[in-house]
Structure 1
Amino acid sequence: MGGILRSNRPWLLVAVTTLLSWTVAKKVEEPESYAQPPRHFELALTWEQYAPDGRAREMILVNGQFPGPTLEIFQGDEVEVVVHNKMPFNTTVHFHGIEQHLTPWSDGTPGLSQRQIQPERSFKYRWTATQYGAYWYHAHQKGQLDDGLYGPIIIHPYEYIVSPFSLISSDPKTLQDIEKAAKNPTTLVLSDFRHMPSYQIDALERASNVEFTCYDSILFNGKGSVDCWPPEKIASLLTAQQKGFLKAANLTSFTPKGCLPGGAIASVLSPGVPVDLSVVPPEIFNVCIPSTGPKEVITVTKKSHESQKWLALDLIATFGLYTVSFSIDSHPLYIYGVDGEYITPQLVDAITVTNGDRFSVLIPLTTPGSFPIRAASVSAPQLMAATATLSYQTLNSTGSAFPPTIPSILDNGLPASPSVRFFSQATQKQFHPPELVQPTSHETFKLYMRISGTSFGWALNSSVLPAAVLDWAADPVVLFSPTPYASNNVTITTLNDTWIDLVFIAATFPMPPHPIHKHGAKMWLIGSGTGPFPWATVDEAVREVPDKFNLVDPPRRDGFVTVSATTEPTWTVMRYHVTNPGAWLLHCHIQGHLSGGMSLVIQDGVDAWPVVPDEYLGYS
């Protein structure tokens, strides 16, 4: 796509920021009248044999590759993505973190914003790049994310957007090097991978009444291997939490695949529910088959006139289940962006990365050599780790006798020493956020998360979202015909320009942490705590336990992880501003939990409902 901002757009020539902002806002208000040709992409989806980790399986390729191609965009662009479904399955594509301001029909959620794209059909998504930063696109049809339908989105900011780089260094030359690196970031897609297609996983889960929490490999940019550890290593890496799960299930060890056995998953999460482990293939939980695939190497080339001093990485977590610890041996990490927005930089050694997360990272290149890039699962059901490589030299380096590297994390994701600094979401500060969090809200929704019947059935608010809602059978699509103030546990209705509190309550336990993602808007994480949530509203809770809340400078993201509950209930509060009317999904981003029903429909701004263009309304 090139790295030069196009200058033929009228607002790039406006010198006064206020006039520029007015021009952009006016353009966004009328998405159907495109004055300039949109930035156009074509994505052809095919179902083919492919071997990312050395073992072939049928999976989704996008334009013949995995992961899919990067969509490189500039803030302010009108974007057009045409998806051609050449697979034997229905599908949709969601643009994760893209707010879809005034274009909710391009959000890509089946049953909510569109009808599914049937085989041999195409669908045109059109939206405005109102944001900047790192995002990604992925399937939003059942478990197809696990089948490989995903790829990065990088949106370069307007030139007038102020960056936080001066908080990293005040030296003019260093600042110049940092800004140069940040304009051309390297994308690093982190994923977990299974050897069995998602539709088979779903069928086997339902036949056995067991959630499959075991994967086969961790991939960096779609590359990796299956590494089978000896039982001694697995035993030595078990965490206190994992040992507790084994004890609760009357077991003593994880499987040779590094997994909590399937029977233990069922007995801990859904005790008393009959299971049939005889239908579960041994490779799902128990048998590890090693394989060798390609290894990702990020090489910083040595230039004739100078050496590159900094590397910018955009980490994009496309995990179906995992949360991992991430680090690069012997290198500190400056985190300057989270979920596509600048933050006050944090200097760390490692990051906890979960489903849907994006982290923009600056890395000083000071000591030449080859350094392991590490990702290790911290998800309780499985021990697994993998590495890629960062390799670089400087002008005066010989490429030999490099010193040994120093890891920051172990293969179970725990810190390698007490001095290791992890990224702190609790102290994450937004750098010039687009708005400040409102000190009070208009409405509170208390959502009781629970396991529903089986270990693969999950409810975001007591009730499982019926599968038919997110299916082709959903007619009419919610966006096309909303049902204001639907009285049930799986629908929320709000008014435009109101502030909404969502309280996620883990009322039953044990309850794992859930990465909750909201379509159409970012949220503020304003509070959390242990024990019950007895208050009728969050405002009442703030008055009684103010120390549990931050209404001054809380973190702002499009996805947050709820507080896990081991021995008592917990609660997590997110606040958001309704400024983008439409039908949006609120859901857990763990693919098994999403397929298991852990979702809500939010009809935001029902009093200012958008008029759907005929081309989307009539698509079938």
Structure 2
Amino acid sequence: MAGSRFTRALAVLSLATVALAAPLTSINEANILERRAASDICSAKSNCIPFTINASWGSANPTGAGARGVILTNGTLPRSSTPNEGRRTGTPWSDGVPGLSQYAIKPGKSYMYRWTADEQGAYFYHSHYKGQIMDGLYGAIFISPADGGEEGPFFSVDSSAVDKLKLADAKNEPLFVSDWSKYTFDEFYAIEQAGNVDIACADSIIINGIGSQYCLSQDQITAMSAPRIANLTGGKGYTKKACLPADTVATQGNYTRNLAAIPADVFDVCTPSKNKNYTLSVSKIDGYAALTFINTGGFSLLKATIDNHRMIVYDYNGKWTTPQTVDQVAIGNGDRVSVFVKLDQPVADYQIRVSNNGLNQLISGFGVLSYKGSFGISASSVPAMSFGGVNLTTIVPFAPAKAAPFPAETVGQKADKTYFFNIQKLPNAGHAYEWSLQGNTGYSMNNDNGTPLLYKDPSTVLESDIILKTNMGQWIDIVMQTTGPIAQPHPIHKHANKFFVIGQGTGSFNWPTVAQAQAAIPSAFNLVNPPYVDGYTTLPGENTATWTVFRYKVEIAGAWFLHCHMQTHFSGGMAVAIMDGVDKWPTVPSDAGTSCQGSGTSNSTWNPSCYCPASCPANTGKGPDDTGSGNTSGGNNGSWKNGVWLGPNNPAGANNTSSSGSGYTPEQQTGSYSSNGNGVKSSSSNSTSSLQAYTGTASSSHVSLFTALALTVAALVL
């Protein structure tokens, strides 16, 4: 499989959780753990790099609409959490899932994660304790192939610019795109329970932790509404916040609701706010820029365009793919979609547009792709979609079903075992916010605080609706059917290893086996070179059910999650635990999670009694000497034209220090201070942290030298 082709390297993390609130520092610098120069690895002979990450409650105001509680990592947002992507060969206790692979981390305690970085790709790590990703626990990881390993699909993208593409890939810039709510997850979930609703209405869409709350007029909402919205809502149409009303039966279910318990600003009241938007600086001389869109939202499926620029998708959910040249990319929750952008336009600023990709709400967020030397928004800038996500011209969208892995992967031609799931509201529960992945039972968040399945003898655990068992080497089929009348798409993620997406269709899956379905409708299946990913969004449908089939080989023994990546659905029970490889069940070492650094800080010495190699010293390096150019474009003003939000004009001189394609400022690398939401520098509570937020310079000579990485908290109980 793919993992054997890449250098195996040990990555470790010492995580400390802190119950005290920390002061707000930067809210627009992402937690990026990525490719690093050879000189920055802790020693020439070592094969691991330690990082220490401190998680604490703090306050943030990313949209200018008012501060709320968030989980800060080393004093910043967005950042944080645990290894939940990629393979964990030999260390299944480093998956970061409380109740499955570890005990929840308590306040004031620490946990060290170790795992092998053996699969190239763009990944993302985050909390699996309830819905803490909505409070800011997330970050990016980039894994490069080993020196002399497989080449990416660069030649297929542009055979005349392979070196420039490699360099762009080495400096890949993560764009965290997500919905944002003024409520913490606990508050959000309490409102769902009090009102008996499933909330899918956001205050704003933010990019790398910043944005604004835009409010439409009633005329604009009406103009952007699809004709079927009137029927869907019983003639009501969207609310003044451009959301489906809380009593929309088709999406909420036919339950008794307590609408009076829902604050008006959740569904109905929109209060505009103005804040700077994220600016990505690029240089035309580079020829190409590489971006990775990462959906870290709670419930919004998203899509993105860049004015006047096409995108070339070359990596999808942890796997190089056959390149697709597109105008728009869809980004499901948990997705990582890496694209090349050819820098062939006149020097200027161009809007990055991120819109909701569903019927639940008309909403967008904005960023700026700014060429070095730009004086503002291009006068010839042409948007591809409106604020409501409506295409303004004929476009080519990214087609995930055609994302064939590059190089090709071999899928098993038959399955040894098949599981059938029926995604729906939890039957007979009477609660709109409770869900089932299996069809009859919801996975309870109370399991987060129990004894992890990994610590149990599989023979003592009964297989059930929410606990499945497999043996090593088996090929497993998972048939996902989504019940109508509104078959909502669901971004499904599998821990431990990737799966093949071998088939999908509309209607009910009425066959007892996948083989019989394949014989009946061969055009709906692909067993030649199907997508090979760790996450995939099921088909949507109106007035019909839909189905999707995943196939994977059991290669890594452990207790793993299969779940919907929408945090509201995941917390509402849309998950099952799979005990893969029960015939080769691992034994958890007595010191699992024990910090190899005595004090749990980045500059303490290694404890020689730990499993970690003695050759790994503390990581005291500051990263490449890469100060970046900064970016002083910004501004809060903007305008509408023909129903299209043109976004801020970003006049030069506004106070907007942000990352460039070449790196962040030295102050942000050391963590001593950085710019807050108002462009004002403030002290950090973790100035000695070894975790640097930077992209790092790179050249074609060391594109693949990134052989170790670090992760953050799996579960923060505060």
Give 1:8 deviation, angstroms. 8.3
Give 1:252 deviation, angstroms. 2.5
d(CA) in 1 for partners of 2:462, 2:441 = 16
Contact 1:52 1:294 in 2 (8 A): no
Secondary structure of 2:87 counterpart: coil
CA offsets per residue over residues 395-424 of structure 1, 9 Å max, x none?
xxx858944211112222232212x11111
Secondary structure of 1:158 counterpart: coil
d(CA) in 2 for partners of 1:408, 1:486 = 52
d(CA) in 1 for partners of 2:297, 2:593 = 32
Give 1:241 deviation, angstroms. 4.7
Give 1:316 deviation, angstroms. 1.4
- The 5 A counterparts of 1:2-401 are 3-5=36-38, 36=46, 38-54=48-64, 55-68=66-79, 93-159=81-147, 160-171=149-160, 174-246=161-233, 250-264=234-248, 267-301=249-283, 307-367=285-345, 368-393=347-372, 399=375
- The 5 A counterparts of 1:604-619 are 604-616=580-592
d(CA) in 1 for partners of 2:191, 2:51 = 36
Contact 2:42 2:49 in 1 (8 A): no
d(CA) in 2 for partners of 1:354, 1:317 = 6
Query: Residues 606 and 230 of structure 1: is their aligned pair in 2 closer, same or farther, counting only changes over 3 Å?
Result: same
User: Which amino acid in the other structure matches residue 493 of structure 2?
Assistant: H
1:464 paired residue number: 441
Give 1:565 deviation, angstroms. 3.5
User: Which amino acid in the other structure matches residue 274 of structure 1?
Assistant: T
Contact 1:410 1:416 in 2 (8 A): yes
CA offsets per residue over residues 297-316 of structure 1, 9 Å max, x none?
111257xxxx2211111221
User: Which amino acid in the other structure matches residue 225 of structure 2?
Assistant: L
Structure 1 length-normalised TM: 0.85
Q: Which of 382, 405, 408 is equivalent to 1:406?
A: 382
Worse-matched range after superposition: 583-592 or 406-415: 406-415
Determine if the alignment matches structure 1 residue 588 to structure 2 residue 564.
Answer: yes
Secondary structure of 1:336 counterpart: strand
Query: Residues 281 and 482 of structure 1: is their aligned pair in 2 closer, same or farther, counting only changes over 3 Å?
Result: farther
User: Which amino acid in the other structure matches residue 363 of structure 1?
Assistant: V
CA offsets per residue over residues 28-80 of structure 1, 9 Å max, x none?
xxxxxxx83521111111111111111211111111111117xxxxxxxxxxx
User: Which amino acid in the other structure matches residue 256 of structure 2?
Assistant: P
CA offsets per residue over residues 324-382 of structure 1, 9 Å max, x none?
12010000111111112111111111111110111111111112211000001022211
Secondary structure of 2:250 counterpart: helix
Identity among equivalent pairs (%): 34
2:396 paired residue number: 421
Secondary structure of 1:542 counterpart: helix
Contact 2:130 2:445 in 1 (8 A): no
1:502 paired residue number: 478
Structure 2 length-normalised TM: 0.74
1:88 paired residue number: none
Query: Residues 344 and 270 of structure 1: is their aligned pair in 2 closer, same or farther, counting only changes over 3 Å?
Result: closer
User: Which amino acid in the other structure matches residue 571 of structure 1?
Assistant: W
Give 1:439 deviation, angstroms. 1.0
1:440 paired residue number: 414
Secondary structure of 2:591 counterpart: helix
d(CA) in 1 for partners of 2:35, 2:527 = 41
d(CA) in 2 for partners of 1:325, 1:400 = 24
Contact 2:308 2:350 in 1 (8 A): yes
d(CA) in 2 for partners of 1:223, 1:121 = 30
Contact 2:112 2:593 in 1 (8 A): no
Worse-matched range after superposition: 609-618 or 492-501: 609-618
Give 1:520 deviation, angstroms. 0.8
Secondary structure of 1:432 counterpart: coil
CA offsets per residue over residues 242-298 of structure 1, 9 Å max, x none?
34422xxx232211111111112xx22454421111111111111111112232111
Contact 1:142 1:595 in 2 (8 A): yes
Secondary structure of 1:263 counterpart: coil
d(CA) in 1 for partners of 2:166, 2:252 = 51
d(CA) in 1 for partners of 2:227, 2:377 = 39
Secondary structure of 1:95 counterpart: coil
CA offsets per residue over residues 185-236 of structure 1, 9 Å max, x none?
1221111111011111111211211111111111111010111111111111
Q: List runs of 5+ in structure 2 lacking aligned partners.
A: 1-33, 596-714
2:405 paired residue number: 430
2:20 paired residue number: none
d(CA) in 2 for partners of 1:400, 1:596 = 45
Query: Residues 270 and 326 of structure 1: is their aligned pair in 2 closer, same or farther, counting only changes over 3 Å?
Result: closer
1:76 paired residue number: none
User: Which amino acid in the other structure matches residue 553 of structure 1?
Assistant: N
d(CA) in 1 for partners of 2:124, 2:142 = 8
Secondary structure of 1:206 counterpart: helix
d(CA) in 2 for partners of 1:5, 1:317 = 30
Query: Residues 274 and 403 of structure 1: is their aligned pair in 2 closer, same or farther, counting only changes over 3 Å?
Result: closer
User: Which amino acid in the other structure matches residue 344 of structure 1?
Assistant: T
Contact 2:484 2:543 in 1 (8 A): no
Structure with the greater relative contact order (CA < 8 A, sep ≥ 6): 1 or 2?
Answer: 2
Give 1:543 deviation, angstroms. 2.2
Query: Residues 480 and 595 of structure 1: is their aligned pair in 2 closer, same or farther, counting only changes over 3 Å?
Result: same
1:479 paired residue number: 454
User: Which amino acid in the other structure matches residue 37 of structure 2?
Assistant: I
Contact 1:177 1:310 in 2 (8 A): yes
d(CA) in 1 for partners of 2:526, 2:337 = 22
Q: Which of 495, 518, 532 is equivalent to 2:494?
A: 518
User: Which amino acid in the other structure matches residue 446 of structure 1?
Assistant: F
Q: Which of 530, 534, 541 is equivalent to 1:565?
A: 541
User: Which amino acid in the other structure matches residue 263 of structure 1?
Assistant: D
Contact 1:325 1:378 in 2 (8 A): yes
Query: Residues 37 and 170 of structure 1: is their aligned pair in 2 closer, same or farther, counting only changes over 3 Å?
Result: closer
Contact 1:226 1:290 in 2 (8 A): yes
Query: Residues 469 and 605 of structure 1: is their aligned pair in 2 closer, same or farther, counting only changes over 3 Å?
Result: farther
Give 1:566 deviation, angstroms. 2.2
Query: Residues 9 and 439 of structure 1: is their aligned pair in 2 closer, same or farther, counting only changes over 3 Å?
Result: farther
